[in-house]
Amino acid sequence: MKAVQVVGYHEKLEMKEIPVPRVSGPHDVIVKIGGAGVCRTDIHILEGQWAEKSGVALPYTIGHENAGWVHAVGSAVTNVVEGDKVILHPLVTCGLCRACRFGDDVHCEQSQFPGIDTAGGYAEFLKTSARSVVKIDDSLEPADIAALADAGLTAYHAAAKAARKLHPGDRCLVIGAGGLGHIGIQVLKAISAAELIVVDRNPDAVKLAVAIGADHGIVADGTQIEQVLQLTGGKGAEAVIDFVGEGGSTKEGVQMLRRAGDYHVVGYGEDLVIPTIDIISTEINFIGNLVGSYNDLVELMALAAQQRVQLHTAKYSLDDFQSALDDLGAGQIRGRAILVP
């Protein structure tokens, strides 16, 4: 089969011909890939940012946002059958550790992360586990929703976490209306009554944010802090969800957060620098967000089937993987890029 692989850090990906994965354990599921999302994390992988953390041996197949059709199953698999249309939770988890027993499988002590530390989905087939496959509604197509497996799941996880503490009349500030942000905006509108303010540097992204439900859209032109404070009576938002996490967004974002507010960090790339006295004197909270649980993905698929969350995509053939990465790196993609074998 065709597979796009990392052959070296600071080098371009290469298309290879490798064997189709086979069932080797009772809970294995082989999926024929119908769509694989292209994520900024893939660029960070090529830059070597994950090399030490993942410990993966090169070469290996990249791609951690995957959906498709069940191709083959192990002898103990009962939740899916061949031909089922599925989206894949990005982690392969054990089900036995303390975190899994609590339903917090994103922190599984023995997890594998296809596309990060084992073979991923920039390929024609992918091997995963029965614990990782979520059947999707017949109305959904793998190539249309593949990026919900990670970008969507991460956005849902953060938005749902924020929504649990938001009340009618509260304000939630979203920084970044791009690939993750435009999903988070839709999730917040679906599950929260909070007033939603969105800030982005790109005027087109701000227009999209308003079109999909934001109550206020602000172009980051140097006056965004003042505009947000004006909208919030000078107090700031009860919650900030930062889908950018670089380029100074965190420094600015904290200035738009209300006392005792929650700052949800989703995007990453810069250091969080804030005097500890400012944290304790205002009792603000910084909350990290990494992917989401299997149940989060099930809930997100319910919203997708109800058309309350829709993914804006740009599709590329698997052979055209380099164009997808180049366009993403150049900021030319609105929404998410999807590779289609």
3-state secondary structure 35-82: EEEECHHHHHHHCCCCHHHHCCCCCEECCCCEEEEEEEECCCCCCCCC
Q: How far is CA 269 from CA 117, 200, 280, in A?
A: 20, 17, 25
19/52 same-domain check: yes
| Percentage of residues in the chain having pLDDT higher than 90 | 91
Indicate the length of the chain as a whole number. 341
Question: Would you state the pLDDT for residue 20?
Answer: 98
Question: Would you state the pLDDT for residue 50?
Answer: 87
Phi, psi of 32 (to 5 degrees): -80, 115
Pairing of strands 2-6, 60-61: antiparallel
191/205 same-domain check: yes
162/210 same-domain check: yes
280/299 same-domain check: no
Count of domains forming the chain: 2
301/281 same-domain check: no
Interval 267-287 mean pLDDT: 94
Pairing of strands 28-38, 14-17: unpaired
What's 215's domain CATH number? 3.40.50.720
What's 12's domain CATH number? 3.90.180.10
254/184 same-domain check: yes
Question: Would you state the pLDDT for residue 21?
Answer: 97
Q: Residue 334 — very low, low, confident or very high, per pLDDT cuts 50/70/90?
A: confident
226/314 same-domain check: no
Residue 4: pLDDT over 90: yes
Question: Would you state the pLDDT for residue 268?
Answer: 85
Chosen domain end from 248, 267, 288: 288
246/193 same-domain check: yes
Q: How far is CA 266 from CA 189, 235, 241, 340, in A?
A: 18, 23, 7, 27
| Closest to 174 measured CA to CA, from 162, 165, 164 | 162
Q: Residue 331 — very low, low, confident or very high, per pLDDT cuts 50/70/90?
A: confident
Question: Would you state the pLDDT for residue 335?
Answer: 76
171/109 same-domain check: no
Chosen domain end from 247, 270, 288: 288
Chosen domain end from 264, 288, 312: 288
97/226 same-domain check: no
Residue 289: pLDDT over 90: yes
Q: 311: domain range?
A: 2-150+291-340
Residue 40: pLDDT over 90: no
Question: Would you state the pLDDT for residue 53?
Answer: 83
Amino acid at 13: L
Residue 265: pLDDT over 90: yes
pLDDT digits (tens, 9 = 90+) for 130-185: 999 999 999 999 999 999 999 999 999 999 999 999 999 999 999 999 888 999 99
Q: How far is CA 152 from CA 64, 65, 246, in A?
A: 12, 9, 20
Arithmetic mean of pLDDT over the chain: 95
Question: Would you state the pLDDT for residue 251?
Answer: 95
Q: Residue 199 — very low, low, confident or very high, per pLDDT cuts 50/70/90?
A: very high
Question: Would you state the pLDDT for residue 120?
Answer: 97
295/250 same-domain check: no
pLDDT digits (tens, 9 = 90+) for 81-123: 999 999 999 999 999 999 999 989 999 999 999 999 999 999 9
96/85 same-domain check: yes
Question: Would you state the pLDDT for residue 77?
Answer: 98
